[in-house]
């Protein structure tokens, strides 16, 4: 069984993905909070100014943790040029060599890039239309990323004529109060940045408090998904094929 499949299943099982965004909270404390909450997958974005140092550090120190990198761009020429202004940027090849488990982007990737990396890494490019979402997934992307706060695109991607084909990853200001609607609209994975999940708690942050918030988000997504897709909840912990057959969308495995 490949690590890519293990990361894919771990992300599904977790349901909620914490995003390390550009904030002033200590990276290691945030990571410790995630680990204390027993999270197995995190997303560390290149917006974060310490990304070029922390990504290899996390990969080396926590090899069992599935590490996705967000705010990626699959154009090496642009990334290298923009490093002058944003030294934390990394090319896809650089991160691939570090052994990260996947790439997330708010924009679409080329078919060539998706086909190159999707066999060994999770690839989650952005989509702003139904057509973009389906083109990205048909090229091999594991999810199409849909940014909120409006859920209309999620719903369009799950309309009856689409036969539930598209696997959807939703983000964009999603608090626990909005998670049920996002899932009901069709998102199978929900992601939120710490600027959202920890809003109002910055004065009293510690690992225990971060862990408690992460558990609330995971529980909220799992509860909403169990109501939306009970067959998926029933397949948790089952064999690979039983679990794959329970997925409510297309998968590349």
Q: Give residue 152's Cα distance to chain centre.
A: 20
DSSP H helical ranges for the chain:
3-14, 27-36, 51-61, 76-82, 92-98, 111-117, 130-138, 152-157, 179-184, 194-197, 207-228, 230-234, 240-246
Which superfamily, per CATH, for 3-246? Aldolase class I (3.20.20.70)
pLDDT tens for each residue of 84-94: 999 999 999 99
CA-to-CA distance for 126 and 211, rounded, in angstroms?
A: 28
Token pair recorded at residue 186: 């069709």
Map out the domains of the chain as residue ranges. Answer: 3-246
Is the distance from CB of 146 to CB of 125 less than 8 angstroms? Answer: no
**60, 99, 144, 155, 223 from 90: Cα distances, Å:** 17, 13, 22, 34, 36
Record the pTM: 0.96
pLDDT tens for each residue of 172-211: 989 999 999 999 999 999 999 999 999 877 667 899 999 9
């Amino acid at each position: 069984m490949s690590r890519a499949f293990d990361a894919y299943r771990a992300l599904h099982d977790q349901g909620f993905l914490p995003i390390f965004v550009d904030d002033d909270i200590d990276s290691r404390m945030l990571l410790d909070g995630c680990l204390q909450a027993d999270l197995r997958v995190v997303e560390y974005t290149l917006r974060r100014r310490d990304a070029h140092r922390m990504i290899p550090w996390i990969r080396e120190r926590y090899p069992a943790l599935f590490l996705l990198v967000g705010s990626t761009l699959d154009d090496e020429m642009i990334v290298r040029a923009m490093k002058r202004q944003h030294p934390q940027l990394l090319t896809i090849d650089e991160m691939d060599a570090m052994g990260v488990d996947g790439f997330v982007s708010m924009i679409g990737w080329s078919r060539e890039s998706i086909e190159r990396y999707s066999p060994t890494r999770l690839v989650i490019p952005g989509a702003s239309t139904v057509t973009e979402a389906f083109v990205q997934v048909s090229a091999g992307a594991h999810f199409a990323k849909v940014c909120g706060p409006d859920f209309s695109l999620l719903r369009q991607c799950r309309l009856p004529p689409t036969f539930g084909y598209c696997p959807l990853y939703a983000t964009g200001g999603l608090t626990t109060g909005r998670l049920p609607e996002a899932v009901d609209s069709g998102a199978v994975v929900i992601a939120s940045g710490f600027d959202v999940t920890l809003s109002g708690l910055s004065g009293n942050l510690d690992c225990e408090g971060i862990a408690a918030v992460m558990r609330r988000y995971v529980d909220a997504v799992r509860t909403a998904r169990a109501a939306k897709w009970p067959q998926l909840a029933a397949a948790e912990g089952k064999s690979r094929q039983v679990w794959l057959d329970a997925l409510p969308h297309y998968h590349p495995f």
